[in-house]
Amino acid sequence: METMNNNNGDNSEMKLLANRLDIHRFSEVPKYYVQPAESRADKVMMVKNDSIPIINLGGHDRAHIINQILKASQEYGLFQVINHGVSKKLMDETMNVFKEFHGMPAEEKKIQCSKDPDGKFKVYTSTNYFPNKTRKDGQVECWKDTFLHPCPTSAENMNYWPDKPHKYREIVGEYTRELHALAHKILEMLGEGLGVAPKYIYNKMGETPTIVAQHYPACPDPSVTLGIPKHRDPSLVTILLQEEQVQGLHLEKDGQWIAVDPIPNVFVVNIGFILQLMTNGKVVGGIHRAVTNSKTARTSVVYLIYPSPKAIIKPAEEFVNEKTPTLGKFMNFEDFHAYYVKNGMKTEEEYFKIKP
Ligand code: OGA
Ligand code: NI
């Protein structure tokens, strides 16, 4: 990025936000971060967040847990889990290692992402044009930096993983193994609740576990910006670790926004749009967004189970009958994801015509 042609000064926007020394001097955010009025979070009615289900995965009544997961996946598309089996120590270490990652110099982050010959380790700002694409005219940017990479449970290709910050491989390796087990446990219970075999979902769709560390620097004007605009995750399921004490995640339900405030030792589970589609709408993907705040940066660690690249994204035959015919064009996940990255929420209406 430092090597980019910067002769008119206009390319300063291409720098990672976390490494921009000028952002705290802005009295107004640059215009390309200003969201259209209808997307902003400034005037929306917020509902109290005590309605979002909290599910105890450590309970002994399996049928009860399955029912709770199914109900939450149908009504909210998002829920929180406690007694999930991941230690507080590992959750804290993971959060800290990603905060450290985003705190490193931009050049170092780039080096740490450059070991994989397939280029699947990425660090970029806003959407996905960093470091060598240019912003299109009129494109509204997200107030965030993103770092991501695939994280298969085998130690395969661990030498591509960052070796900075200290202990990255050890901590994130352990975290992603535990989150994989947790994601499978949730998908299996959901499968049971839906009346298919427990392993049906990931056996049918395959899986590409991926870790994403979102970083939202403090923003001079949270009333006009967003960290991420409203979306459903293009995953089967997502498990999100929020930074304690820093609010930012919102869920949309029945046209209203609910703050999903962080609770220590709790994971947020998002049903992904791919699962909504695969179940022909039997469960729904949670519609959510992240807002910014002016006081402090916020980091979140997002673990996603994407399908495998060649899985065909369409309702599975188990969920299709005459009353619920399927509509839409179908493509494999690789193509779907490319389309999604480009078009976001429009993907649903245009391609699948499934009601939310
Ligand atoms: C995401 C996302 C929310 C957050 O990365 O898809 O919705 O709180 N993140 O960072
Ligand atoms: Ni999301």
The ligand placed nearest to the CA atom of residue 148 is: 1
**9 C-alpha to center of ligand 2: Å?**
32
Pocket of ligand 1 (CB under 6 A): 212, 214, 228, 233, 248-249, 288, 290, 300, 302
**214 C-alpha to center of ligand 2: Å?**
10
Taking CA atoms only, the protein residue closest to ligand 1 atom 8 is: 249
- Chunked into runs of 10 residues, the chain (356 residues) has average pLDDT values of 34 76 77 90 72 95 98 98 98 98 96 95 80 70 95 92 97 98 98 96 96 96 94 96 96 92 97 93 94 95 98 89 70 88 70 50
**139 C-alpha to center of ligand 2: Å?**
20
CA–CA distance, 194 with 70 (Å, rounded to integer): 7
pLDDT of residue 355: 42
pLDDT of residue 349: 62
pTM over 0.85: yes
Specify the ligand 1 atom closest to the Cα of 260.
8
Q: How far is CA 75 from CA 78, 87, 91, 183, 282, in A?
A: 8, 29, 28, 20, 10
Q: Which of 122, 148, 240, 246 most suits a substitution to test ligand 1, by most atoms within 8 Å of the C-beta?
A: 240
Q: Which of 78, 98, 235, 249 most suits a substitution to test ligand 1, by most atoms within 8 Å of the C-beta?
A: 249
pLDDT of residue 6: 33
CA–CA distance, 126 with 52 (Å, rounded to integer): 28
pLDDT of residue 51: 85
Instruction: Report the length, in residues, of the chain.
Output: 356
CA–CA distance, 102 with 132 (Å, rounded to integer): 19
CA–CA distance, 227 with 222 (Å, rounded to integer): 9
Q: Which of 95, 143, 257, 288 most suits a substitution to test ligand 1, by most atoms within 8 Å of the C-beta?
A: 288
**76 C-alpha to center of ligand 2: Å?**
14
